[in-house]
Amino acid sequence: MSAAQGPRVGDEVEYAPGRLAVVTDIRKGVPYLRRAGHPEWPAQNPNGLTVSRTRVQRIADGDFR
């Protein structure tokens, strides 16, 4: 994640190899993540997050139905 183009709320990100979560909030520049069945947590390595699908892509894929 770069400072200019980091993930936004609603984006699905890969936070570790093969591990996906959704950005639920950004507090003081730190993205907070959530995956199904787990409580929200601050990203351990915000610069290591990779956006796999943007919020717009997730909406188009029907994730919000």
The whole model's pTM is what? 0.87
Sheet of strand 41-42: strand arrangement: 41-42, 30-34, 19-27, 12-16, 50-53
pLDDT per residue as tens, the chain (65 positions):
444 578 999 999 999 999 999 999 999 999 999 999 999 999 999 999 999 999 999 999 998 77
Q: Beta-carbon neighbour count of residue 43 at 10 Å?
A: 20
